[in-house]
Amino acid sequence: MIQVPAGTQALLFDCDGTLVDSLPLYLQGWLRAFETAAGHVLAPEWFHGRGGLSEQMVLDLLEAELGRTLDRPAIVGAARQAVLEILPDLREIGIVADLARRYRAALPMAVASSGSRQIVVASLTHTGLLPLFDTVVTVDDVRRPKPAPDLFLEAARRLNVPPAGCLVLEDSTEGLAAADAAGMRAVDVRPYIMSSGRPHASSQA
d(CA 198, CA 152): 28
Cβ distance 13 to 112 under 8 Å?
Answer: yes
Cα dihedral 112, 94, 49, 123 sign: negative
Q: Just list the catalytic residues.
A: 14
For residue 178, the domain's CATH number is 3.40.50.1000
Q: What is the mean pLDDT of residues 137-163?
A: 98
Residue 198 has a pLDDT of 55
Do 84 and 138 belong together in one domain? no
Amino acid 90: pLDDT = 94
- Shared-domain flag, residues 168 and 135: yes
pLDDT tens digits, 9-65: 999 999 999 999 988 888 888 888 888 877 778 888 888 777 778 888 888 998 898
Question: Of 68, 88, 108, which residue sits at a domain end?
Answer: 88
- When pLDDT is cut at 50, 70 and 90, the band that residue 203 belongs to is very low
Q: Quick check: 202 pLDDT over 70?
A: no
- Based on the domain organization, do 131 and 32 belong to the same domain? no
Whether residue 101 is found in the same domain as residue 76? no
Is 78 among the domain residues? yes
Whether 69 and 110 map to the same domain: the answer is no
Question: What was the pLDDT predicted at 3?
Answer: 95
pLDDT at 101: 98
Domain containing residue 28: 23-88
Spatial neighbors of 125 by CB under 8 A, at least 6 apart, are none
Residue 182 maps to a domain: yes
**pLDDT band of 205, cuts 50, 70, 90:** very low
Q: pLDDT band at 82, cuts 50/70/90?
A: confident
Q: Are residues 124 and 190 in the same domain?
A: yes
DSSP track, 56-103: HHHHHHHHHHHTS---HHHHHHHHHHHHHHTGGG--B-HHHHHHHHHH
Confidence (pLDDT) at 92: 97
pLDDT of residue 199: 57
pLDDT tier for residue 7 given thresholds of 50, 70 and 90: very high
**85-142 pLDDT, tens per residue?**
999 999 999 999 999 999 999 999 999 999 999 999 999 999 999 999 999 999 999 9
Judged against a pLDDT cut of 80, whether residue 74 lies above it is answered with: yes
Tally of domains in the chain: 2
